[in-house]
Amino acid sequence: MKSLFLVGLGLSIIPSLLAVVPIGTSVLEYAGPAWSPYVVGALIGVLSMFTFYFSDKPLGASTGYARVAGMIGKLFAPKHTESLKYYQDNQPAVDWEVMVVFGAIVGAFLAAWQGGELTGEWVPAMWAARFGEDSLGLRLGAALLGGMFMAFGARLAGGCTSGHGISGTLQLSVGSWIAVISFFVGGIATAMLMYRI
């Protein structure tokens, strides 16, 4: 079984790198300040395969957020939280899914720091050009509201961008492909409305 896993791992990484990397491009010598998207994409694929292999579960983040919400709910309203069917079936606890969310936050910080993109600015230039330099409150409100919509949508759709976009498409799930297409359509429509592109 392990040899089949290793063969699948090798067969999945090499063709995917060859398919997306333009001819003459070195994946390790990426010109941008950020990490090479080709190497990072391949590493996410490897992580997803290891997740399936060792836990027999798909890679995803929205369940981690639900577990954290349950832990917060147990602090402030323990009887109500324990009465909810979801938390009766899925006990709120720090598990590997919560650690994936923590790792994504730490990894994003390390990538920005190592790539020289850790700016510390609250209002990026593109946002300021569209909404003004003094629009921090609007930006924070939009981020909070957008995050709430994303969390609600992820739970409603049975998965988030990592659950559907990585694990679901890896399994050739039709529902996940529809979700990923919807992510792109929604993102493009939002960018066009917000930034008048």
From CA 24, how far away is CA 9, in angstroms rounded? 24
R_g of the chain, CA atoms, integer Å:
20
- The reported pLDDT for the residue numbered 17 is 47
- The reported pLDDT for the residue numbered 21 is 52
Whether the CB-CB separation of 179 and 168 falls below 8 Å is answered with: yes
Domain range list for the chain: 1-56, 58-120
Stated pTM of the model: 0.68
Residue 38: closest CA among 15, 60, 10: 15
Whether the CB-CB separation of 96 and 102 falls below 8 Å is answered with: no
Residue 115 token pair: 């790539």
For residue 165, the 8-state DSSP code is I
The separation between CA 84 and the C-alpha centre of its own chain, rounded to angstroms, equals: 27
Residue 117's Cβ-count burial label (10 Å; 0-12, 13-18, 19+) is: exposed
- The reported pLDDT for the residue numbered 160 is 83
Whether the CB-CB separation of 160 and 61 falls below 8 Å is answered with: yes
- The reported pLDDT for the residue numbered 197 is 65
CB atoms within 10 A of CB 98: 19
- The reported pLDDT for the residue numbered 144 is 94
- The reported pLDDT for the residue numbered 7 is 46
Residue 48 token pair: 């997803």
CB-based burial, 153-184: b 16+ in 10 Å, e otherwise: bbbebebbbbbbbbbbebeebeebeebbeebe
- The reported pLDDT for the residue numbered 62 is 84
pLDDT, averaged per 10 consecutive residues of the chain (197 residues), comes to 49 49 57 74 87 84 88 94 92 88 89 81 86 92 91 84 85 90 90 80
Q: Which amino acid makes up residue 67? A: R
